[in-house]
Amino acid sequence: MIYSTCVFVYCLYECFKQEKTISFFLIALLLLFSVSVTVVYLQWKEPVFHQVMYGALVACLVIRSIYIVTWVYPWLKPLCYTSLGIFMLGFLLWNIDNIFCDSLRSSRETLPPGVGVVTQFHAWWHIFTGLGSYLHILLSLQIRATYLKFRPKVKFQCGVWPTLHMEPQKSS
């Protein structure tokens, strides 16, 4: 989670750079952060530490995303807030599962099998954060493609699944 989120952070903070430019400083900083978190976590074995460090990275993404859709590309607000909202719903369900795990587990034993399945909030965390992350990747691609003067268009496969399609660059 830490390493893949660092890739998200890099892409979102570098989205307004010219083509073929690389920020070695940001790469080194994120790599140092990731390795440090890994080393500390392996020594300390405290899940809350890992969760707080992951939360810090997500906060960087949220702040940068809100800045971009507020000041640079405001027409992307719906996609941004949808991705963040779905991700946060997953995060909320995961925390509910962590806090009430024992009582949820015991209540599942009394529920019919089909109902018990939908109370597996940790599974919903994976589904919602996966979908929220996918939408955020779509947002990041749209930001970068727009900056590079492509004309990205969100199209829906089978009427429900959003994908990004590129039209040729605008001639200057």
Q: From the annotation, which residues make up the binding site?
A: 122, 126
Q: How many CB atoms lie within 10 A of CB 121?
A: 20
Per-residue tokens: 162: 């959003």
Q: Classify 21 as helix, strand or coil.
A: coil
Q: Residues within the annotated binding site for Zn(2+)?
A: 122, 126
Helix (H) or strand (E) holding 157: strand 151-157
- Residues pairing with 153 in the sheet: 165
Place of tokens 């807030």: 81
Q: Classify 41 as helix, strand or coil.
A: helix
How far is the C-alpha of 37 from the C-alpha of 50, rounded, in Å?
7
Cα R_g (the chain), whole angstroms? 19
How far is the C-alpha of 131 from the C-alpha of 23, rounded, in Å?
28
